[in-house]
Amino acid sequence: QALGLVGKATAVFSRQDDAPLISAADLLERSKRGEQIYLVDVRTREERQVSMLPGAVSREAFESDILPRLRQQGGAQSLVVPYCTVGFRSGMYCRELLNTYGLAHVRNSEGIIMWTFDGRPLARSSIDDVEAHEVHVYGKAWDCAAEGYTTAYFSDTQGALKFIAELCRTCSKRMSGLGCPTFACC
C-alpha cells in the first residue's frame, strides 16, 4: 500500500528534467561510501516535531545555512535529497532546487513512510539522536507506516489548509519575476 501511495504521489514528477526518486537503501549505501548528502525535510514544523530522518535539516535551515554555500560552490560534490511523507511536496521542492536554484545533484526521496518500511530508525528531531517510533503521515489517506510505528496526522481540513499555505508561500517567494517553479500560477 505504501509503495502504491509513493507511486501515485510522484507520478507527476516523471519529466526528464525532474529529480529521480532515490530509495532509503540507496541513500544509506551512498552515505557509507562517504558521499556528502543533505536530507531536507520539507514537511511542516508540526510534522517535524513528531520525528525526522536522522541527520536531516528543515527546509528553512537548508535555505538559510546550506543552500547559499552550495550555490556558491556549484554543489558539485553534494547530493541534496528533499523528503516529505510520500514524495509529492519534496518533488515540488526538487523542481525548485533544479529550476530556480540551479542545483544539479538533487534526488526526490520516497518519503518518511517508505523509510519506516526499509527498517530505518527515525529521530525525534534534527538535533536529537533519540530514536522515535512515531511518524506524522500528514493525513488519514497516508496512514500506512510500517509495523512498530504509531502515526499522527492532520484532519482533512488542517492538511488542505497547510498545503495551500505552503503553495502560497512558495509562489510569493517567486513573485520577483522568476515565476513559480512548481506550477505556472505566478
Q: What confidence score (pLDDT) does residue 138 get?
A: 85
Could you tell me the mean pLDDT of each successive run of 10 residues in the chain, 186 residues long? Answer: 78 79 91 93 92 94 94 80 93 93 92 87 81 89 89 71 63 51 42
Amino acid, single-letter form, for residue 33: R
The DSSP letter of residue 65 is: I
Q: What confidence score (pLDDT) does residue 104 get?
A: 87
Q: Which residues contact 138 (CB under 8 A, 6 or more apart)?
A: 43, 47, 84, 85, 153, 154, 159
Are 24 and 114 a contacting pair, CB within 8 Å? yes
Instruction: From 117, 104, 103, 53, select the one nearest 83 (Cα to Cα).
Output: 53
Q: What confidence score (pLDDT) does residue 130 get?
A: 87
Predicted model pTM: 0.81
Q: What confidence score (pLDDT) does residue 97 get?
A: 94
Are 152 and 167 a contacting pair, CB within 8 Å? no
Are 102 and 49 a contacting pair, CB within 8 Å? no
